[in-house]
Amino acid sequence: MTLTTTLIAIAVGFTLSIVLGFLIIPILRRMKFGQSIREEGPKTHQKKAGTPTMGGLIFTLSIIISTLALSYIFEVLTTQTIVLLLVLIGFGVIGFLDDFIIVVKKKNDGLSSLQKLIGQILVAVAAFFLLKLGSFDTTVALPFTDFKVELGIFYVAFLIFWLVGFSNAVNLTDGLDGLVAGTSSIAFAAFGVLAISNDTLAQLDIAMFAFVVSGAMLGFLIFNLKPAHVFMGDTGSLALGGAMAMVSVLMKQELLLFIIGIVYVVETASVILQVISFKLTGKRIFKMSPIHHHFELSGWSEWKIVIVFWGVAFIAAIIPVLLEVM
């Protein structure tokens, strides 16, 4: 995959996201698909109520169209590409149903946690069996080493945990304008670079997808920067998290996602620690979780938090890339 092909993938995803943004956002406004803000959240967020949500439709459609078209043109349309799109669409549909119910009811009460979980498990299992039609490697490797663990049939349990865990981690992180759009663009770009460094068809199809997603998220960011004109909603965050986890799986770099996706890991850990601390001691570690809300209540501006988290995401992403190049 040449530099020109890489830039084309990013540019097509970017451009199509912008075009779809100008088409879809007015439709969301006319249909009054506005965001409901939870009352227990930071008071400064109440002014965001009514901002169009379900904006994940913009970049998921861009990713689907761009990936299919470019993968066909450059002859890298493989089973892995189909699996990536299956996960993106499957998790996106779950998020869409959740968002749709919420905007119709005009309150934060969409699909139940159990309903979401069942849907996510079904998508993960479908992806696993589609991969097993070929010669899918069921090992998990320790990053930067040759050490591998063979999971065999138990890999399906790992895959479910991985996809569900990271889709929900990205969902938890999606609380500030531009936060997830920026960090996910960085993460997918990093995986794209790692994929093209392994110059085989088995990696080039993944690279094409990753760079398309990175470009699509940059395009969406134009509408999602503070003050956001649209939110991605669960439609976008669940789809992104699931697709990101699937990319790491197909590249056999599963655990590397702990580094490249460090922002999502920390955000999720802050929620878990907050819950455990409150249940055991009755005290909270953070002023509010996820941790980006803690910084908000500590006096940081929303823009400052987003920039710092982008910086952390970039540093975390560049480390494995540099190690691979060196």
Interval 48-64: pLDDT, tens: 777 999 999 999 999 99
Give the residue-averaged pLDDT of 30-47.
Answer: 70
Question: What tens digit of pLDDT does each residue of 241-265 get?
Answer: 999 999 999 999 999 999 999 999 9
CB distance 225 to 301 below 8 Å? no
Interatomic CA distance for residues 211 and 231, integer angstroms: 22
Q: For residue 32, what pLDDT band results from cuts at 50, 70 and 90? A: confident
The residue ranges of every structural domain in the chain are 3-256
Whether pTM exceeds 0.85:
yes
CB distance 35 to 45 below 8 Å? no
Question: What tens digit of pLDDT does each residue of 212-247 get?
Answer: 999 999 999 999 998 999 999 999 999 999 999 999
- What is the reported pLDDT for 189? 97
- What is the reported pLDDT for 240? 98
- What is the reported pLDDT for 109? 76
Interatomic CA distance for residues 122 and 114, integer angstroms: 12
Write down the residue that tokens 């997808």 correspond to: 209
Cα dist from 283 to 10, 196, 238, whole Å: 46, 48, 30
User: Which one-letter amino acid corresponds to residue 121?
Assistant: I
